[in-house]
Amino acid sequence: MRAALHQAGETALSEPLQYAVPALDQRQLPCPCGYHAQYQELRSQPVLTVLGPAQLSRPYYLCARCHRGQFPADVELDVKETEVSPGVRRMLAMVGAEVPFDHGRQQMKLLADLEVTTKAVERTAEAIGEDIAAGEQKEIQRAVQLDLPMVVSKAVPILYVQMDGTGVPVVKKETVGRQGKTEGQPTHTREVKLGCIFTQTTWDKEGFPIRDPDSTTYVGAIEPAEEFGKRIYVEAWKRDWSHAEKKVVMGDGADWIWNLAEQHFPGAAQIVDLFHARQHLWELARRLHPNDEINQKA
């Protein structure tokens, strides 16, 4: 039934995707170079839609001066320089963000009965990722210029900013020219910095604070501490940091975290989180009592 309905959908789609030859008075378009582009012919291209593969045929315009070609219909349909419809791109972004790209390809087949290549999943996910990153950069730049919109909401009783860094395995080309942890050895990981912002309004019976469910928002990037500082500052601002009654920064013992805390979150209570504190304590105990588990534990 699904295959049959896809078939019917493809047939239904084929009509609106067949553009007519433009009328005589519509055969010229302005060209970005200042000259104009002239209608040439109808050109055909496959487009993968949520209903399956379809064929798009639309007018092609060419500028005689700068030789730049144009497909106005592609802009209208949001398929400029891609053979994947916006609907399919949304699906690809979804599966590409959740699972490895090849699993994404399999999910597309299973869930939507669409044949895509692993590369298509990767390309789409990365293109959308770049788009998101560009939007974030814009926002970060505005924050640096102190041009953020005011957040108006009820004051948060306790707002937490937490950050950490961890190594993620990467392909070789990502580590070219980077020093590994061991002198002279190439590194196989890059440090990704992660941050989260959350609120807390309640405590459990034993007095331990409880993170408010669904209150956490996240940021993350492979970038220097200075850049990451701006990123997490913007996120904290969006969460109304400036109006929080109690402010807390949590992290491990790394210098960069406390430098960022001083710089972007001055006056906040600084807490080394329990997990890392335990880790540090264990490291200390192991150094104080090498090969002596009883005293380490004590």
Query: How far is it, in rounded angstroms, from Cα 36 to Cα 280?
Result: 68
**Span 260-279, contacts to Zn ion by CB under 5 A:** none
- Using CB under 5 A as the binding criterion, the count of chain residues that bind Zn ion stands at 7
Q: How far is the CB of 161 from Zn ion (least distance, A)?
A: 51
For Zn ion, the closer CB: 33 or 144: 33
Cβ-based nearer residue to Zn ion, 31 or 250: 31
Other C-beta atoms lying within 10 Å of the C-beta of residue 19: 17
Bridge-based pairing state of the strands 28-30 and 52-63: unpaired
In the complex, the smallest distance separating the C-beta of residue 77 from Zn ion, rounded to whole angstroms, is: 23
| Cβ-based nearer residue to Zn ion, 69 or 209 | 69
Q: Which of 51, 54, 63, 159 lies at the binding interface for Zn ion (CB under 5 A)?
A: 63
Nearer to Zn ion, 65 or 142 (CB): 65
Interface positions, 17-56, toward Zn ion (CB under 5 A): 31, 33, 35
Tokens of 108: 């597309």
Q: Of 35 and 282, which has the nearer Cβ to Zn ion?
A: 35
Residues 91-120 that bind Zn ion (CB under 5 A): none
Tokens 């170079």, located at residue: 33
- Contact between 158 and 200 under an 8 Å Cβ cutoff? The reply is yes
- What is the distance between the alpha carbons of residues 191 and 77, in angstroms, rounded to a whole number? 40
Closer to Zn ion by CB, 37 or 56: give it.
37
Q: Which helix (H) or strand (E) holds 52?
A: strand 52-63
Position 83: which residue type? E
Contact 198, 161 (CB under 8 A): no
> Residue 133 Cβ, how far from Zn ion at the closest point, in Å?
31
The answer to whether the CB of 159 falls within 8 A of the CB of 239 is: yes
CB of 65 to Zn ion, least distance (A): 5
Query: Nearest to residue 49, comparing CAs of 75, 78, 21?
Result: 78
Find the binder of Zn ion among 8, 12, 21, 66 (CB under 5 A). Answer: 66
Q: How far is the CB of 30 from Zn ion (least distance, A)?
A: 9
Phi, psi for residue 31 in degrees, rounded to 5? -105, 145
Nearest distance from C-beta of residue 29 to Zn ion, angstroms? 10
Residues contributing to the site for Zn ion (CB under 5 A): 31, 33, 35, 63, 65-66, 68
